[in-house]
Amino acid sequence: MGNGTGNGVGNGAGNGVGNGNLTISAADEGSPPTATGAASGAPLGWNFFHALYCVHYIDSGGNQWTYVVPKETPGNFFFTENIRYWADAFRSACPNGSLVAIHVTNSSGTFDEVQVYGPGF
């Protein structure tokens, strides 16, 4: 699993190949963002799920939140705030129910890498 983009989607950074998958890591846009997480926390390491649906919300302060709900655990969700490339990855997975992999780095669900597989890319 290398850093890169698939089919020209993303910011063009990394060394991946466009074979139907999208990989985005924190290194693709500088320092790791801090506004990521999971509603009920998540196990450390890679978490895999199919995107059931996404919600994009702009709060009164102008912050843009994107939520993705896993088909396998619809009572939980992952979110990102003001991080366009991860929001775009989530939203691209939702229309097709694509497989999403999120690398979780702490017990609150903070993640540093997102991968999308399947018909979304």
Helix (H, G, I), strand (E, B) or coil at 101: strand
Domain containing 83 equals 21-117
Q: Is residue 39 part of a domain?
A: yes
pLDDT digits (tens, 9 = 90+) for 12-47: 333 333 345 544 444 444 444 446 888 888 899 999
Instruction: Please say if the pLDDT value at position 8 is more than 60.
Output: no
CA 119 to the chain's CA centroid:
16
With respect to residue 74, please indicate whether it lies within any of the assigned structural domains: yes
The pLDDT of residue 12: 31
The percentage of the chain sitting over the pLDDT mark of 90, rounded to a whole number, equals 36
Does residue 70 form part of some domain?
yes
What is the total count of domains within the chain?
A: 1
- The residue length of the chain stands at 121
Structural domain contains residue 6: no
Return d(Cα 38, Cα 49) in angstroms, integer: 13
At 22, give phi and psi (nearest 5°): -125, 130
Q: Average pLDDT for residues 43-64, to the nearest whole number?
A: 92
Q: Is residue 5 part of a domain?
A: no
The answer to whether position 49 is within a domain reads yes
Q: What is the pLDDT of residue 35?
A: 65
Enter the pTM of the model.
0.69
